[in-house]
Amino acid sequence: MKVAGIVLAAGGGSRFGQPKAEVELGGRRLVDLAVESCVRAALDPVVVVLGAVRLTPLRLAGIADGDPLDIRLVDNADWATGLASSLQAGLRALEADVTVDAAVVNLVDTPCVGEEHLRRISTALRGGATAAVATYEGTARTPVGLTRDIWGDVVRSVAGDEGARGWLRAHPHLVTPVECADLGRWADIDVPTDLPG
């Protein structure tokens, strides 16, 4: 089973004061950290959905020159309508690639989510899950994994500033929870004071 990665990085970061994709943490942009985690988790290709700012991911740390990387940049012209349009853009960008069987979706503003989180979701999909969601002491968060069979339904059902959450809640019988609390606390970055010191 071939599992792709999708990084949702299109938002304008109104509460933060700038698009979060270009925010730096430890001298590296959040978009680069997110893409690197996908690559290290063997997600291929990696689709980066951009909108408010157009960025090209930088060379990834620790990835040897010459390693084949399939990183696809997708422009979401509707990014201001909310997260749903970015999820739709990311999934639609993969529809024509019949070699991809599933996708693991992550947010650019959750640097707490790393390679192992992504691997666990990917492993659940490879193990037969239709949808998989990372949980932290039972609370569903990100990343989220979706098999190709449900992409169309997810794309049709999401709206506004909510990603796949509504679809997942409406289809609990298709969702496999994947506990990730042992990997650390889940947190997103909304304002500058949320950045780890």
In a domain, 98, yes or no: yes
* pLDDT score of 197: 62
Say which residue the tokens 């640097």 belong to: 111
In a domain, 193, yes or no: no
In a domain, 101, yes or no: yes
* pLDDT score of 194: 76
96 token code pair = 């024509």
What distance in Å separates the CA atoms of residue 40 and residue 69, rounded to the nearest whole number? 11
In a domain, 190, yes or no: no
* pLDDT score of 75: 94
What distance in Å separates the CA atoms of residue 81 and residue 160, rounded to the nearest whole number? 6
Domains held by the chain: number: 1
In a domain, 197, yes or no: no
Q: Which domain holds residue 152?
A: 3-184
* pLDDT score of 62: 55
* pLDDT score of 161: 83
In a domain, 68, yes or no: yes
Q: Which residues of the chain have pLDDT under 70?
A: 57-68, 197
* pLDDT score of 27: 86
* pLDDT score of 105: 97
Q: What is the CATH number of the domain that holds 164?
A: 3.90.550.10
* pLDDT score of 98: 93
Pure H helices in the chain: 30-40, 83-95, 115-126, 148-157, 165-170
* pLDDT score of 81: 93
* pLDDT score of 79: 93
* pLDDT score of 15: 79
In a domain, 118, yes or no: yes
* pLDDT score of 190: 77
In a domain, 192, yes or no: no
Task: Tell me the pTM.
Answer: 0.93
Cis bond upstream, residue 68 (ω within 30): no
